[in-house]
């Protein structure tokens, strides 16, 4: 079951991303494919509607060891100043100190510490760092099916997380009309070169 992320810090996500690999003798390494992946989020506005957004600059790697899933690793880095809610004025505000504070905290990162195979995917626990604070979270990554297209091996995962900004040191007085909780949706496709 996924753990809570922090939105305002939605700079998540997600340290997006994940590692997966497979090899007869070793794990395969995959790079996050920005063209076929996304890290998006939504947060309540005035507790009556949702504001939607995404991060446009995300990178990551994952290593998948299908023989020993516990050796699989996932890592994701999100550039907080790439926040995009389709409103230039709001995006500029979200980069300010009362929200993501992108100058002081330029990235949101996730790095796995343990991985367990489950039906339909993996349960991954790791360190999630946002707004200068690191918390341990557990997320469920669904997917992992390999596909070869034009001689390129691909693997994809998806997850949805609920996070609280207050868990990541955001000023509670600045949470205001955008609620404390946010939902983060990660769809990650990895490419093995």
Model pTM score: 0.82
* Domain residue extents for the chain: 28-192
Right CATH for 28-192 from 3.40.50.2300, 1.20.950.20, 2.40.128.110, 3.40.640.10: 2.40.128.110
- Pairing verdict, β 73-79 and 107-118: antiparallel
Closest alpha carbon to 117 in 14, 20, 186 = 20
pLDDT at residue 166 in the model: 83
Query: d(Cα 68, Cα 191) in Å, to the nearest integer?
Result: 20
pLDDT at residue 186 in the model: 96
Binned at pLDDT 50, 70 and 90, residue 19 comes out as very low
pLDDT at position 70 over 90:
yes
Give the pLDDT confidence of 109-127 residue by residue, as tens digits: 999 999 999 999 999 999 9
Nearby residues of 173 by Cβ (< 8 Å), 6 or more positions away: none
pLDDT at residue 48 in the model: 86
Binned at pLDDT 50, 70 and 90, residue 173 comes out as low
């Amino acid at each position: 079951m996924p753990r809570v992320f922090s939105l305002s810090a939605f700079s998540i996500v997600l340290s997006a991303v994940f590692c997966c690999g497979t090899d007869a003798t070793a794990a395969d390494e995959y790079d996050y494919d920005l063209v076929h992946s996304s890290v998006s989020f939504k947060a309540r506005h005035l507790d009556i509607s949702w504001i939607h957004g995404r991060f446009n600059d995300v990178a990551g790697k994952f290593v998948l060891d299908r023989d020993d899933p516990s050796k699989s690793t996932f890592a994701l880095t999100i550039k907080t100043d790439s926040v995009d809610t389709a409103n230039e004025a709001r995006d500029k505000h979200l980069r300010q100190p009362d929200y993501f504070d992108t100058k002081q905290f330029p990235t949101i990162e996730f790095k796995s510490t343990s991985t367990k195979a489950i039906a339909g995917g993996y349960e991954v626990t790791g360190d999630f760092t946002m707004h200068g604070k690191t918390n341990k979270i557990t997320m469920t990554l669904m997917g992992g099916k390999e596909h070869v297209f034009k001689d390129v091996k691909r693997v994809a995962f998806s997850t949805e997380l609920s996070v609280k900004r207050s868990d990541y040191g955001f000023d509670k007085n600045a949470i205001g009309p955008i609620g404390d909780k946010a939902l983060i949706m990660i769809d990650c496709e990895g490419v093995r070169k």
